[in-house]
A and B are shown apart, each in its own frame.
Chain A
Amino acid sequence: MAKPLEGIRVLDATVWFQGPVCAQFLADFGAEVIHVERPVTGDQARGVRSIAAVPVADWNQYFLAVNRNKKSIAIDLKKDEGRDLIYRLVEKSDVFLWNQGLESLEGLGLSYEKLSEINPKLIYATNSGYGHTGSVSKGAFDMTVQALTGIMARLGEPGEPPIYLGLGAGDAYGGLMGALGILLALVSRRRTGRGQYLDASLYGAQLFLAAPTLQAYLASQNDASANQQSRKQARNPLWNRYQASDRWLFLCVENDDDRWRRLCESLERPDLVQDRRFAAAEDRRENAAGLIVLLDEIIAGRTVAEWMQRWDAAGITASPVQAFRDLAEDEQAWANDYFSKVHCDEVGGEVVIRGLPVGLSKTPGSVETLGPELGQDTELILFDTLGIDWDRIGELKQLGVIP
């Protein structure tokens, strides 16, 4: 089936995660994405040896999964001949993407002014750390930027250490915001014939990531809402995490009298409906701490499976808190292509990675290949796309411009 971004060529001069995952979206949906890397070492993510303190086994999931569906060209951008190759590629590309710090672009001869002069239709996108303007210029890593937004300090039980949202959980958001900007610029270019500059920063994206609680804080500036919130004090005790006899579950029940009655019945505690401490929604809110203690005791008495069976029958909304191991076997994730199987050379067979982010009924994306070997497409791109002859390619190798 046709893919929506076929015919779009992307120069993906990014490293680590935020930029590469931005270009991944474009590659999943048919763009020709060329990961531009420096010779010898390439993208630093090729050097990842462990993830969350667990050593990667026989293949590097970090680099190879994130850079799926891409080509790789290795060029030394610090050499004049290398810069010239990039200029010639820019002429024939639709998108240039960069996440290696905005300060270095000028010195490399890769400023927006320069590249848009070469190709006025070029969409020039950056994933910066802290925005396209302003005075801040320091390194931006997922965790140090999560720290600034305030979301880490709000999560977890009071007194516990701040919570990191998970490896790359902010990076990937910046990447998706960048992809949205690029698609908007592509739609706009169809009408105007012009490219433009866009930036989606890690900081800006992560502030948005906190929207479900940050927006209310910004409007009220009420400091209590910026602090850790205890599950033992949840104002709606029926919408809370509880520990069953075998594992945790998430109960999501609106605090109204009908649901309260049905919940009490499912808990085999119809007497609670008559309990004056919890009679009306307002009572349950005011006596939340006591009700949570009570529910803790009752729910701890059975397994999650037992509760889910009762609650499904009673129309009570809840979910087991699963582990990755459960998700790996979850029919729902597989049925919707949220996992993909793809061939892996290192393993000599199929491996499973996260699948497609969006379903498009007539132009679905696909996962065809894992990430490329460093520079594997260099010669072919120079020959096919730029029409450089083999003698010159040999010279460029001699000069160390390409490997």
Chain B
Amino acid sequence: MSRALQDIVVVDLTTEFWASLAASMLGDFGARVIRVEDLSATPRDPDRDGHHPPEAAFDAEAELIHRNKQSIALDLSHPDDQTILKQLVGRADVFLTDWPFAAIEERGWGYEDLIAEKPNLIYARGSGFGPEGPDRDLPALDELAAARTGVMPSLPEPDQPPVFAASGQMYTMVMLALGIVTALYHRDETGEGQIVDASLLGGNMYAATLTLDAFMAMRDDRLGEPRPRFGAANPMSGISYPSADGRWVTLTMPDTDRWWPAFSAIVGLEVDDERFDSHEKRCGESRLEMMQVLEELFAKHPASHWRAEFDAKKLSADIIEKYDYPARDPQAKVNRYVLDLDHPSYGSFQSLGFPIHMSDTPARLRAMAPCRGQHTAEVLDELLGWSDARILEREQKEGGAGGEAA
């Protein structure tokens, strides 16, 4: 089977979830991704925010963000290993890092430094706030960027705390991967490498595109303020109602005239109920009354009843599910969005799969997340041409740092 990024070598010097995931996506499509684990640094604590308590007996996050990678363990505080990093870049097509600009330049791994090793290198940087401007050196934390963007206060009901959805970093992740592949395409055409930049601020702004563009045009603060549920413009669109079992239904039927005959029948309203018999009434004089009526009607039956009705009438409406839904959903499995896997030490588990289907160059799971330094010897041999004797000497000197570190 052919791979989209066959023969592409990526050196992955990343710390944060989203940046590491950008590298593993390149690996999913066939790139050889070499993850550099810095033995002189403290690894990121996945639970630093207190919202990611260790739940499984193994590192579930790693099985997503480091799959399809090889791991080399280097002591980046040591000159010998710093040289190895540069030599690896010399054999690579892409260097990807989310280290702070100042830190990476201080080490002598800036763009100008590394193109001395590889002139047409794609040098990709994930940052918090972009390479320009007064706040370029702020930490690359999605929380800070999301707070800055203006979307957090708009999400909840009025008088509720602003909401952090962690989706901005996922935008940044795919923008980083997209920038890299676009730059690879350009390099294949022209031989020219370049710097690729994607930031969490840019990613959070992208996630809010429609509302943000509207705000920039209208400068209407209502766009960024919480809107109560019954503040929706349309009782049948962009709104949710609780069902009898506490699960919610959600409706997206903006053109209500088209849906009204079928919709009125399933909720138990007369199609010619004169309070609601036109789009103008439903979204105008009777809007609030209709929401109150629907609130009562949806509370009469459990969510399963409503799903059956929505499906039978092919209405644009659904149930607000919890994470157990995609875990069980055959549609998610047959499209490989969710994978059933076997962990070599801990047995069966589920993981997110691949959001892009490609007929000729599909994403594939070639390797589970590596142990730290699992491929040190292999990488030194295959990419840098080290002899077995030299690798052995290094392993002995470093007390096993070339293998799995404690």
B-contact bits for A62-100, CB 8 A (1 contact / 0 none):
100110000000000000000000000000000000000
Q: How large is the interface on B (under 10, 10 to 19, 20 to 34, 35 or more residues)?
A: 35 or more
B396 located at the interface, meaning its Cβ lies under 8 Å from any Cβ of chain A in the complex:
no
B177 located at the interface, meaning its Cβ lies under 8 Å from any Cβ of chain A in the complex:
yes
Q: Could you give 30 example pairs across A and B, Cβ below 8 Å? A: A25-B178, A51-B210, A54-B218, A56-B217, A138-B314, A157-B156, A161-B240, A164-B238, A165-B155, A167-B211, A177-B355, A183-B182, A187-B4, A204-B356, A207-B337, A207-B355, A213-B52, A215-B63, A234-B50, A235-B50, A236-B50, A237-B50, A248-B162, A320-B147, A321-B153, A338-B202, A352-B217, A354-B209, A360-B197, A361-B194
B64 located at the interface, meaning its Cβ lies under 8 Å from any Cβ of chain A in the complex:
yes
A-contact bits for B41-70, CB 8 A (1 contact / 0 none):
000010111111101101011011000000
**Cross-chain contact A211 with B170 (CB below 8 angstroms):** yes
Given A29-B182, A196-B361, verify A136-B331 contact (CB < 8 Å).
yes
B141 located at the interface, meaning its Cβ lies under 8 Å from any Cβ of chain A in the complex:
yes
Query: Separation in Å of the B310 CB from the closest CB of chain A?
Result: 8
Contacting residues of chain B (328-348) with chain A, CB-CB under 8 angstroms: 329-332, 334-335, 337-338
**Cross-chain contact A147 with B320 (CB below 8 angstroms):** yes
Question: How many residue pairs bridge A and B at CB < 8 Å?
Answer: 513
Other-chain contact of A351, B17, B217, B359 (Cβ < 8 Å) = B217
**Cross-chain contact A150 with B325 (CB below 8 angstroms):** yes
**Cross-chain contact A199 with B56 (CB below 8 angstroms):** no
Other-chain contact of A218, B154, B223, B351, B360 (Cβ < 8 Å) = B351
**Cross-chain contact B133 with A335 (CB below 8 angstroms):** yes
A400 located at the interface, meaning its Cβ lies under 8 Å from any Cβ of chain B in the complex:
no
B243 located at the interface, meaning its Cβ lies under 8 Å from any Cβ of chain A in the complex:
no
Query: How many angstroms between the C-alpha atoms of A52 and B198 in the bound complex?
Result: 28
Query: CB-CB < 8 A to A25: which residues of B?
Result: 178
**Cross-chain contact B186 with A4 (CB below 8 angstroms):** yes
Query: How many angstroms between the C-alpha atoms of A139 and B250 in the bound complex?
Result: 13
Stretch of A250-258, A268-276, A378-386, A391-399 lying at the B interface: A250-258
Contacting residues of chain B (211-252) with chain A, CB-CB under 8 angstroms: 211-225, 227, 229, 231-233, 238, 240, 242, 248, 250, 252
The interface of chain B, by Cβ under 8 A from chain A, is 2-6, 17, 21, 25, 29, 45, 47-53, 55-56, 58, 60-61, 63-64, 129-136, 139, 141, 143-144, 146-157, 160-167, 169-171, 174-179, 181-186, 188-190, 192, 194-199, 201-202, 205-225, 227, 229, 231-233, 238, 240, 242, 248, 250, 252, 311, 314, 316-327, 329-332, 334-335, 337-338, 349-352, 354-361
Given A188-B360, A216-B60, A218-B350, verify A139-B314 contact (CB < 8 Å).
yes
Query: Separation in Å of the B123 CB from the closest CB of chain A?
Result: 8
Query: How many angstroms between the C-alpha atoms of A255 and B232 in the bound complex?
Result: 40
**Cross-chain contact A166 with B154 (CB below 8 angstroms):** yes
**Cross-chain contact B327 with A221 (CB below 8 angstroms):** yes
Query: Separation in Å of the A138 CB from the closest CB of chain B?
Result: 6
Query: How many angstroms between the C-alpha atoms of A209 and B56 in the bound complex?
Result: 21
Contacting residues of chain A (129-156) with chain B, CB-CB under 8 angstroms: 130-136, 138-139, 141-145, 147-156
Query: How many angstroms between the C-alpha atoms of A351 and B218 in the bound complex?
Result: 10
Other-chain contact of B210, A2, A4, A62 (Cβ < 8 Å) = A62
**Cross-chain contact A51 with B209 (CB below 8 angstroms):** no
**Cross-chain contact B163 with A235 (CB below 8 angstroms):** no
**Cross-chain contact B160 with A196 (CB below 8 angstroms):** no
Query: How many angstroms between the C-alpha atoms of A352 and B144 in the bound complex?
Result: 24
Query: How many angstroms between the C-alpha atoms of A197 and B52 in the bound complex?
Result: 37
The winner among A162, A176, A229 for most chain B CB atoms within 10 A is A176
Given A162-B240, A166-B207, verify A154-B318 contact (CB < 8 Å).
no
Given A134-B335, A339-B216, A358-B178, verify A139-B316 contact (CB < 8 Å).
yes
A317 located at the interface, meaning its Cβ lies under 8 Å from any Cβ of chain B in the complex:
yes
Query: Separation in Å of the B152 CB from the closest CB of chain A?
Result: 5
Query: How many angstroms between the C-alpha atoms of A45 and B349 in the bound complex?
Result: 42
Query: Separation in Å of the B308 CB from the closest CB of chain A?
Result: 13
Other-chain contact of B2, A161, A192, A210, A288 (Cβ < 8 Å) = A192
Other-chain contact of A147, B146, B233, B318 (Cβ < 8 Å) = B318
Query: How many angstroms between the C-alpha atoms of A134 and B162 in the bound complex?
Result: 37
Query: How many angstroms between the C-alpha atoms of A199 and B363 in the bound complex?
Result: 12
**Cross-chain contact A326 with B150 (CB below 8 angstroms):** yes
The winner among B129, B152, B325, B358 for most chain A CB atoms within 10 A is B358
**Cross-chain contact A327 with B149 (CB below 8 angstroms):** yes
Query: CB-CB < 8 A to B25: which residues of A?
Result: 180
Query: Separation in Å of the B144 CB from the closest CB of chain A?
Result: 4
**Cross-chain contact A250 with B358 (CB below 8 angstroms):** no
A172 located at the interface, meaning its Cβ lies under 8 Å from any Cβ of chain B in the complex:
yes
B-contact bits for A330-371, CB 8 A (1 contact / 0 none):
111111101100000000000111100111111100000000
**Cross-chain contact A359 with B195 (CB below 8 angstroms):** yes
Query: Separation in Å of the B280 CB from the closest CB of chain A?
Result: 13
**Cross-chain contact A363 with B194 (CB below 8 angstroms):** yes
B-contact bits for A183-225, CB 8 A (1 contact / 0 none):
1111110111010111111011101111111111111111101
Q: How many residues of A contact B (CB 8 A)?
A: 151
**Cross-chain contact B183 with A219 (CB below 8 angstroms):** no
**Cross-chain contact B330 with A134 (CB below 8 angstroms):** yes
**Cross-chain contact B206 with A172 (CB below 8 angstroms):** yes
**Cross-chain contact B201 with A338 (CB below 8 angstroms):** yes
Given A150-B325, A156-B156, verify A53-B50 contact (CB < 8 Å).
no
Query: CB-CB < 8 A to B324: which residues of A?
Result: 150, 221, 223, 226
**Cross-chain contact B221 with A149 (CB below 8 angstroms):** no
Query: Separation in Å of the A284 CB from the closest CB of chain B?
Result: 10
Query: How many angstroms between the C-alpha atoms of A21 and B208 in the bound complex?
Result: 13
Query: CB-CB < 8 A to A266: which residues of B?
Result: none
Query: How many angstroms between the C-alpha atoms of A157 and B162 in the bound complex?
Result: 10
**Cross-chain contact A5 with B182 (CB below 8 angstroms):** yes
Other-chain contact of A325, B53, B143, B179, B221 (Cβ < 8 Å) = B221
Query: CB-CB < 8 A to B205: which residues of A?
Result: 327, 333, 338, 354
A245 located at the interface, meaning its Cβ lies under 8 Å from any Cβ of chain B in the complex:
no
Other-chain contact of B162, A186, A196, A215, A321 (Cβ < 8 Å) = A321
Query: CB-CB < 8 A to A229: which residues of B?
Result: 51
Other-chain contact of B358, A161, A198, A319, A358 (Cβ < 8 Å) = A198
**Cross-chain contact A217 with B327 (CB below 8 angstroms):** yes
Other-chain contact of A144, B49, B206, B250, B314 (Cβ < 8 Å) = B250
User: Given A144-B317, A161-B157, A211-B352, 12 other A-B contacts at CB below 8 A?
Assistant: A153-B248, A178-B356, A215-B63, A216-B60, A218-B338, A235-B50, A319-B144, A324-B150, A327-B150, A332-B134, A354-B205, A359-B179
Query: Separation in Å of the B88 CB from the closest CB of chain A?
Result: 22
B-contact bits for A261-294, CB 8 A (1 contact / 0 none):
0000000000000000000000001001000000
Given A135-B331, A181-B358, A357-B178, verify A51-B201 contact (CB < 8 Å).
no
**Cross-chain contact B218 with A252 (CB below 8 angstroms):** no
Closest to B356 in A: A181
Query: Separation in Å of the A99 CB from the closest CB of chain B?
Result: 14
**Cross-chain contact B144 with A216 (CB below 8 angstroms):** no
Query: CB-CB < 8 A to A307: which residues of B?
Result: none
**Cross-chain contact A358 with B350 (CB below 8 angstroms):** no
Query: How many angstroms between the C-alpha atoms of A120 and B160 in the bound complex?
Result: 55
Query: How many angstroms between the C-alpha atoms of A291 and B214 in the bound complex?
Result: 40
